[in-house]
Chains A and B, each alone.
Chain A
Amino acid sequence: MSLLSDPLSVVFLLSSLMSVIAAVLIVHHKSIVYSAFFLSVLGVGNSILFTLLGFPIIALFHLSVYVGAAVTFILFSVVMLKEAPVVEPPVKALAVIAAGVLALIMMKIFSVFSIEPSFFLNYRDLTALLVTKYWFALIVAAIALVTTLIEAITLARREV
C-alpha cells in the first residue's frame, strides 16, 4: 500500500511494466513493423527509468538519438521490405529454460544492491567530463557514427 502512495514508485511500476510488455511484444508480435514500433515504446519506458535514476540528460539523449533516429530508421527500413516467410527453429522450450535460468541468476546477483540511488547528473557535469576527460572517445564515436552511416548508405544503394 505504501508503495502505491509514493508517486515515484507508481511511475517506476508503470514504466517498468511498459518496458517489459513492450519487450515481450517485440519478440512475439507476428508483424516485424509492429515489433519495431514496440522497440520505440521500450526506449520511452527506459528513458523514464533513466530519469528516475537521476540521469535526465541521458534520458533525453536516449529519446532523441536512439528512439528518434535508430528505431525510426529500423521502422522505415522494415516498411520498405516485404514480410519474409517465418522460419522458426524448434528450440523454444530450451530457450525458455535458458532465459528463465539466466534471469534468476541475474536477479540473485543483483539482489545485493539494496541501496537507494542518490545521484542527479546535470548537463554541466556531463559536458565537462566529456570535453575534458573523454574528448578522444567522443571524437572516435563521432567518426565511427559518420563512417558507419556512409557505409550503411553505400550498402543499401548498391545495385545487385
Chain B
Amino acid sequence: MEASWYLFISSILFAIGIYGLLTRRNMIRMLLSAEIIFNAALLAFLSLASLDAGYGPVGGAIVVIAISLSAAEVGVIVSIAIMMFRMRRALDVYELKKFRG
C-alpha cells in the first residue's frame, strides 16, 4: 500500500476535523474536532517518516512526545470546560467572552 493512501485518509480526517471546528460552538465538541485533526496530523507525520529509514526513528520519537503533550492538553481543556459549566451552566464558546477580567 503506497504512502499516498495513508495521506489521503489523513487529509479526509483533517477536513472532517476542520468542518467540526467550524460548525460547532460547544466547547467539548470543538475539543473532539481538534482531536480528529491531531489524529490526522499524526497519521500524516508517520506516513512521511516511514518513507525514509533515516527519518523514521526521529519521526517516532517526536510523535511519542506529541502524544504525551496532547494528553496533558486534553486534561487542561476538559477541566476548563468543567469550570465553565459550573459557572455558566453552558458550554457555548461565545460565553467565554464573559470570563474576561
Contacts and interface: CB of A to CB of B under 8 A. Distances in A.
Contacts, number: 265
A5 interface: no
A96 B18 CA distance: 9
Interface in A92-147: 92, 94-96, 98-100, 102-103, 106-107, 110-119, 121, 125-126, 129-130, 133-134, 137-138, 141-142, 144-145, 147
Given A24-B16, A26-B33, A66-B70, A95 B23 contact: yes
B4 A111 contact: yes
B29 A32 contact: yes
Contacts of B15: 99-100, 102-103, 106
A159 to B, nearest CB: 8
A61 B13 CA distance: 21
B11 A84 contact: no
A129 B59 CA distance: 11
A143 to B, nearest CB: 10
A73 B39 contact: no
Q: Range of interface residues on chain B?
A: 35 or more
Interface in A39-86: 39, 42-43, 46, 49-50, 52-55, 57-58, 61-62, 65-66, 69-70, 73-74, 77-78, 80-82, 84-86
B19 A141 contact: no
Given A99-B15, A121-B57, 20 more contacts: A9-B1, A16-B9, A20-B16, A26-B32, A27-B24, A27-B32, A27-B36, A46-B39, A49-B43, A55-B50, A58-B60, A87-B26, A98-B19, A110-B10, A113-B48, A121-B56, A129-B57, A134-B62, A148-B72, A160-B87
Query: Which 3 A-B pairs give the minimum distances between C-beta atoms?
Result: A110-B7, A106-B11, A103-B15
